[in-house]
């Protein structure tokens, strides 16, 4: 994967995470409380949503659950 493709995917992921939180009508602090592990707080949630911090698969799953969703990853052939 080229750098440009990686950066587009990273930006899209962070934007989608914010949209997911907003669709669940949660503040950053509320989501951090629902995730409830790893010392996450609203500043960390903000840094993830703005693309300044990476997110691992475990936190991605916790984020989805905290917003009331199940995580599903799909690979789509170009």
- Give the pLDDT of the chain (78 residues) as one tens digit per residue: 454 444 455 568 889 999 999 999 999 999 999 998 767 899 999 999 998 998 889 999 999 999 999 999 888 787
Q: Which domains does the chain have, with CATH numbers?
A: 3-66 (1.10.260.40)
List for the chain the helix, strand, coil content (%; round to 5): 60, 0, 40
Q: Which of 73, 72, 68 is nearest to 24 (CA)?
A: 68
Q: Which of 47, 49, 64 is nearest to 13 (CA)?
A: 49
Block residue for tokens 């989501």: 31
Residue 70 near residue 43 (C-beta atoms within 8 A):
no
Cα gap 1→68, rounded to integer Å:
32
């Amino acid at each position: 994967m080229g750098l440009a493709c990686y950066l587009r995917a990273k930006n899209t992921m962070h934007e989608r995470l914010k949209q997911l939180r907003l669709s669940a009508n949660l503040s950053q602090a509320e989501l951090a409380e629902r995730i409830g592990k790893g010392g996450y707080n609203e500043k960390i949630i903000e840094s993830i949503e703005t693309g300044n911090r990476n997110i691992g698969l475990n936190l991605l799953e916790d984020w989805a659950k905290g917003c009331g969703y199940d995580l599903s990853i799909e690979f789509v052939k170009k």
